Amino acid sequence: MRPTVYYFEIPVNDLDRAIAFYSAVFGCQFERVDVDGNQMANFPSLEGASGASGALAKGDSYVPGTQGVRVYFDTDNIDETLANAVAAGGKVLYPKTAIGELGWVAEFEDSEGNCIALSQPLSD
């Protein structure tokens, strides 16, 4: 069996600040929900689209940090997405770097202190 990522949660200290940050970076809207005493903000999901869904998560067991698992977000324009992150108060941790025939990757620190990664495939 090949493991497949189904869902992820990004820990946050300030949910409103994190929603504002990720809305500015990715240009998306979030749906706020409470799950088992935790405050969540769900990333939008498109029916039939590939990839995992996820949420920003605030609660006792959610501790932001740059160490640990890296979540990679696909982007059509890694330069623009990094610029959005910096303009929203984030900082570049790993600049746009070519990974051969696969495209490019980069990492930034979000408003909460997490390391978030980006991936851009080569253009056709």
Which residue's entry shows tokens 């998306």? 28
Per-residue pLDDT at 49: 74
Strands (E), the chain: 7-11, 31-35, 38-42, 53-58, 71-74, 91-98, 104-109, 115-120
Q: How far apart are CA 110 and CA 96, in angstroms?
A: 16
Q: Cα dist. 98→11, 91, 102, 104, 118 in Å? A: 28, 19, 8, 4, 12
Structural domain boundaries, residue 28: 7-120
Model pLDDT for residues 86-118, shown as the tens digit of each residue: 999 999 999 999 998 889 999 999 999 999 999
The percent of residues above 90 in pLDDT, for the chain, comes to 82
Average pLDDT, the chain: 93
Out of 3-7, 8-12, 64-68, pick the least confident.
3-7
Domain membership flag for residue 1: no
| Structural domain count, the chain | 1
pLDDT-derived band at 72 (thresholds 50, 70, 90) equals very high
Domain membership flag for residue 38: yes
Per-residue pLDDT at 50: 77
Domain membership flag for residue 2: no
Per-residue pLDDT at 124: 54
Domain membership flag for residue 88: yes
The amino acid at 123: S
Domain membership flag for residue 106: yes
CATH of the domain at 55: 3.10.180.10
109 DSSP β-pair partners: 91, 115
